[in-house]
Amino acid sequence: MTVSSSIAVGSHVWIEDSEEAWLDGVVIEVDGEEIKVECTSGKIAVASVANVHPKDLDAPSCGVDDMTKLAYLHEPGVLFNLRCRYDVNEIYTYTGNILIAVNPFQRLPHLYSNDMMGQYKGVALGELAPHPFAIADAAYRQMINEGISQAILVSGESGAGKTESTKMLMQFLAHMGGRVAAEGRTVEQQVLESNPVLEAFGNAKTVRNNNSSRFGKFVEIQFNNNGRITGAAIRTYLLERSRVCQVSDPERNYHCFYMLCAAPKEDTEKYKLGNPRMFRYLNQSNCYELDGVDETKEYLSTRRAMDIVGISSDEQDAIFRVVAAVLHLGNIEFAKVSESDASQPKDDQSQLHLKTAADLLMCNEESLEDSLCKRVMVTRDETITRSLDPEAAAISRDTLAKIVYSRLFDWLVNKINRSIGQDPDSKFLIGVLDIYGFESFKTNSFEQFCINLTNEKLQQHFNQHVFKMEQEEYTREEIDWSYIEFVDNQDILDLIEKKPGGIIALLDEACMFPRSTYETFAEKLYQTFRDHKRFTKPKLSRSDFTIGHYAGDVTYQTELFLDKNKDYVVAEHQALLSASSCSFVSGLFPPLPEESSKSSKFSSIGSQFKQQLQSLLETLSATEPHYIRCVKPNNLLKPAIFENSNVLQQLRCGGVMEAIRISCAGYPTRKTFDEFINRFMIIEPSVLNGSYDEIAVCRKILENSGLKGYQIGKTKVFLRAGQMAELDSHRTRILGRSACVIQRKVRSYLARKSFISLRMSAVQVQAFCRGQVARHKYWHRRRDAAALTIQKEAQRFLARKAYALLSSSAILIETGMRGMAARAELLFRKQTKAAILMQSHFRGFLACSRYLWLKAATIATQCAWRGRLARKQLRMLKMAAKETGALQEAKIKLEKQVEELTLELELEKQIRADIEEAKNRENAKLQSALDEMQMQFEETKKQLVKGIEDAKKTTNEQVQVQEVPVVVDSELVDRLTDENEKLKSLVNSLEKGIEESNKLSEDRLKQALDAESKIIQLKTEMQRLEEKISDMEETQDQMRKQSLTNIPSRKMSGRISQPTQPLENGDHEPQSVRPNKAYGSESSKNLSKSNIQRQRESTDVLLKCITEDLGFSEGKPVAAFTIYKCLVNWGSFTTEKTNVFDRLIQKIGSAIEVEEANNDYMSYWLSNTSTLLYLLEQTLTDTVSTPGKPPQSSFFGWMSFRSSRSFSIRKVEAKYPASLFKQQLTAYVEKIYGIVRDNSKKDLLSLLSSSSSSIQAPKLSSENSQSVNTNHWQSIIESLNGLLTTLKNNFVPPVLVQNIFTQIFSYINIQLFNSLLLHRECCTFSHGEFIKAGLDELELWCTQEQEYAGSSWDELTRVQQAVGFLVIHQKSRITYEDLTTDLCPILSPQQLHRICTLYWDEDFNSQGVSPDVISSMKVFITEDAADADADDTSFLLDDTLSSIIPFSVDDINNSLRQSDFTLVKPAAQLAETPGFEFLLQGQG
């Protein structure tokens, strides 16, 4: 990139340096194409203009979290940004969507806590600080939303932290997936538990790392359609098999060999092992031990890890037998058999190792020797056995060792996968690739060649992804990018793997020819690729070659290429191990098809490597990639050391610089409109005078700068390489001219200030001289005036003295005369007053005497009347005192009367029955006599009629014949007449007797009916008295211990306490006095049933009433008051068993479940439940009375309580139902309180979320920024006002309101504080002022609502101190003591370090705290981290404290203690209901 046009004296630039890679300095001289630079280190250097890069002076001191935001995207800018962030422990940085992770070589537990995972869950990439959690979350969200499998490629050299980054990724994915395995271990735990096993068998010490993975690991986390983890698998690639047989100094072989040699004695004896120096596969290097590593402990740890992943003890034993056999195979040496080309074990030691290897592999010793020293060639006609020379036998031995170890490693991976559990039906997966990075050593052999080929392939994949991201960015911004060329590394890949002319193909060809050597192979390479631009031949070497990789040139030594590439699949080896008596060994070598088992087939490591690499890339191509580049800051593996050259080389090897080069081919500099305008508006300030269009302003600035080739997108300005430097140069020139103008104005101001000062000095001198002259003249005039004044005053004194003498003489004479007259008048008035006084006293005596007489009479009258009233009242009191005994006596008397009346009734019934029977008999006799007399009467009547007829006949005959005198028997007539009269009188007497008998019967019947009605009336009265006595006994039981007066001397006698009988429905049967008669018990039972029924009906009415909004009376909830009065009147608190409380709790619970989101409704019930709880607390005591001995109480006290016209609360002993009800009510108060609080938090969450404007100040270019600020914080205050109004309107106790606001303000403090520490763009001076203005409004509101929210303001202390730090000036002068004692005393070192490192000033680029302060913080953080858990070292605040219940029942009692319930009115609709008249008692 050419920047010659923008370089001038005074420009800040970066120049190359051989030691520090890049140095920054100031240009002090420009000489054509060369410049002289004074570096900040004091060094003076000369450099070419073409090799320097401009430095961005406006870059934050702690760097930017996304390097695409850098003004200058070049090597020194990237390197300096990473170093700045590393110095403040910001180890993660984005480059677009690529994460760069610098290994801190120390614990940073606050970055990986569960709280941190919760913060990154569901947050868009780039919204929070860079972190592996953000990459994992982006991959997970993309998989869920788009249905595409994802891959996260973690790369870097040994020691860069790839394994730790992989652990973090899997931890987050397990957190998101949420699946738990059968044994209680998550998938992430199972995968991590397999790491020790894989590291033991797949890791080794290399030049740069003591624990370098020598294989690629691709961990697949499998998910279902719902995004839940269903399984996992570990795929391994490209195991470095050649390391088993060949190790370079100072590297080591795989760890498992050294662990087994250091195993406990019984194991080493079992496997016939000893010091690793005695084994050829281990003693090729002089490094046998690692610093700080105990191989014995590692061996035991590996054994435990094998147990965890499900490898049985028998399998473990077989595994280590195979490992030991590999070591013994390496010690077998071969020698020539005399006079033949055949080979055999060299000596007895070799023969011993051969035998030991055969024993460990459980195969035949002779067969093992034959498989190493002989080959069987199968022809068409016969089978030929050919002996191998010692060199070929050694190759066969190494081939066997490599294939055995490779099969063992594959078996371990498969076993681990079976232990973890795979899901064959999984739809999606997220793969995490952990693979070795680019390697370039002093000596590079076949292993480095294969590793660098892998990285070339991955770099091509990476370049395609980067270019794709660039295309998406340009397409999204709708700019033209068609002319941008994509630079690929396909030519290098063709050089290495193209068929048939690639390096691998030529290597395989050389390996197939027995007489080929590394020299002939090198010569073949020179001939084939002498014209290739990526291939060169070193000048001083005959067998080396150099390839120009993307990360730099690497020179390879071909000496061991052929040996390391050979990998024969020997049929003899296959047959030998398949026939092993050890099932484990034979399982590693299953039988091959017959056609392939008859001959040896050549296979090369390079070809297999290429096939595995192709399989890996096919897997990656089927997924959406994400990249994490791990960087090792130093080779000492120590914290706080950042080696520029080392890091820069890793950035090149990791492809980061290649990605930057791709970006530079397009538009490397991208600025949003507001950032671009804020930085370059000084170039064209006229466009900002009024309302403006951001795009038009940007275009105007660019046009005035004379730039070409830029692009303006929808939200950003895209600049070509070098254009940012030109703009900065133009800006610097304008700033320079502005500085000259400012300097000129300042100098003018200073000169004018000096002139004005001199002029004012001259004026002051002149004024002083004139003042002196004037003061002298004034003094003379003042002296003359004083002389005249003295003379005048002296003359006045003399004249006044003579006048005063004359005046006093005259006054004295007048005084004497007036005194004589006054004394005479006084004497006269005294005499008159004395006479009047004597008269008044005499009249008063007369009036007083009469008054005393009247008073004595009145008092006597009053005393007599009051005595009469007192005696009457005394009699009434005595009667009241005797009422209990009288009632009992009346009861007994009534019982006796009832008994007597009952007996009389029975007797009356008997008499009545006898009378009825006698009457019936008499009536029957009378009736028979009457019938007989009627018959006689009829006969007599007939005789009379007959006689009359005969007389008429005779008369007629006399008339007809002649008159014949008739002779009448008068005696007979008289007798008949008398008899007739007797019969009539008898009939009348019988009828009268019947009537009297009927009347008597009716009278007796009436008396019997009256007796029955009186009996019924007496029974009713007796029941009423029994109920009253029972009520009084119950009252006395309840008030016995509370009574303050003595029990009256006359106690109720004959009282029988009946035990409470539980009924089936759970209600309480009232106590009653059991009468002695049978009919009394039946009526008592009926009465109890009627009481229970009335209780049920009353409870139903009450429950129906309280479901309605009854409102408030005198500031008290009507529903709570009504419930309390009902429970008191029903005596529910002292009942052993009742369901009233259960029904009340169920009704309250169902009521609040309906509208939990309605704070108004919840506040109504919070007020009712808390008030009812207060009343219960004041009423109930926890003392339990002794069964069978109910407590006595004052009768008069209870009667006065029942008849009182004012509301009062008395203590009663709580039975179990009442105590349980109080506990349940307490739980509901806490539940409703939590609902109200959590609803309020939800309302505030949207206003306090990180995406809202609560912590993000409006842009400077916005005209209505002040209104946005006011409106947003006003919304928060309106929400708080609405909540407070709701609580006030529902008369919630003040202590609950205060606690609600205290916890809400604590929640606001946590949200604001955590958002500040998680969003770097918010840790600025302007954002601090924005938040401070909002906090001032909150403080004003708290002051206005002092009663309810005054103490809540203290909960915002942390965010106040954090904001106070942001808005303070001259932070660089602040010391650590100032921070911890004055500014931010309650913030932890982690929080102080976080906010100090995140701070930046986007407007004025002011400096933060000094590096010394940061260093002091690091020391304290390190000390704290050593003693604390991971959760304790997090800089984020925990929200658990704002979710507890912060009050107790005593707090509610104290808050309502002064409440007066006297004037509270119960529910009007309930008071009018029959049976609830008691609610109106005590109402005025």
Q: Which of 163, 1043, 1138, 1324 is catalytic?
A: 163
Phi, psi of 230 (to 5 degrees): -115, -15
Which among 11, 68, 95, 158 is annotated as catalytic? 158
C-beta separation of 1136 from 1068 below 8 A: yes
Active-site annotation holds for 456 = no
Neighbouring residues of 1221: CB distance < 8 A, sequence distance ≥ 6: 1141, 1144, 1145, 1176
H or E element in which residue 827 lies: helix 723-881
Long-range CB contact pairs, 906-909, < 8 A, 24+? 908/1004, 908/1007, 908/1008, 908/1011, 909/1008
Query: Which residues are CB-neighbours of 436 under 8 A, at least 6 positions away?
Result: 157, 158, 212, 213, 214, 216, 451, 454
Residue 1261 annotated among the catalytic residues of the structure: no
- Which of 209, 543, 565, 997 is an active site residue? 209
| Helices (H), ranges, 666-722 | 673-680, 694-705
Strand partners, 152: 432, 626
Closest to 156 (Cα-Cα) out of 623, 644, 627, 624: 627
- The catalytic position among 96, 159, 1334, 1482 is 159
**DSSP calls for 897-955:** HHHHHHHHHHHHHHHHHHHHHHHHHHHHHHHHHHHHHHHHHHHHHHHHHHHHHHHHHHH
> How distant, in Å, are the alpha carbons of 504, 601, 1043, 1412 from that of 507?
5, 17, 111, 58
Please state, in angstroms and rounded to a whole number, the distance separating the CA atoms of residues 610 and 897.
121
Q: What is the DSSP letter of 692?
A: -
CA dist 1223 and 642 (Å) reads: 63
- Find where tokens 């795009």 sit: 695
Is 489 annotated as catalytic?
no
Conformational region of residue 972, where left means phi above 0, alpha means psi within -120 to 50, and beta covers everything else: alpha
Q: Which one of 166, 212, 302, 1098 is the catalytic residue?
A: 212
Residue tagged active-site, from 156, 437, 606, 722: 437
* H or E stretch covering 424: none
Comparing C-alpha atoms, which of 1417, 1371, 1366 is closest to residue 1391? 1417
Cβ–Cβ < 8 Å for 177, 228? yes
Chain centroid to Cα 568, Å, comes to 61
- Catalytic position from the list 61, 149, 166, 213: 213
Q: CA–CA distance from 1186 to each of 36, 1035, 1131, 1189, 1198 (Å)?
A: 104, 16, 18, 6, 21
Whole-angstrom distance, CA of residue 691 vs CA of residue 154? 49
Residue 582 main-chain phi, psi, to 5 deg: -90, 120
Sign of CA dihedral 245, 251, 254, 260: positive
Q: Beta strand pairing status for 203-204 and 535-536?
A: unpaired
Q: How far apart are CA 157 and CA 136, in angstroms?
A: 21
- DSSP assignment of 356-371 equals HHHHHHTS-HHHHHHH
Strand locations in 1168-1216, DSSP E?
Answer: 1180-1181, 1212-1213
Confirm whether 158 is a catalytic residue: yes
Quote the CA–CA distance of 230 and 180 in Å, as a whole number.
9
Peptide bond into 500 cis (omega under 30): yes
Instruction: Quote the CA–CA distance of 576 and 579 in Å, as a whole number.
Output: 5
Confirm whether 163 is a catalytic residue. yes
Omega of the bond leading into 250 within 30 degrees of 0 (cis)? yes
Contact between 56 and 82 under an 8 Å Cβ cutoff? The reply is: no
Active site residue 439: yes
Active-site annotation holder among 90, 220, 439, 477 = 439
Q: How far apart are CA 256 and CA 242, in angstroms?
A: 16
Residue 1427 sits at the vertex; the CA angle it makes with 1421 and 1428, to the nearest 5 degrees, is 80
Catalytically annotated residues: 158-159, 163, 209, 212-213, 437, 439
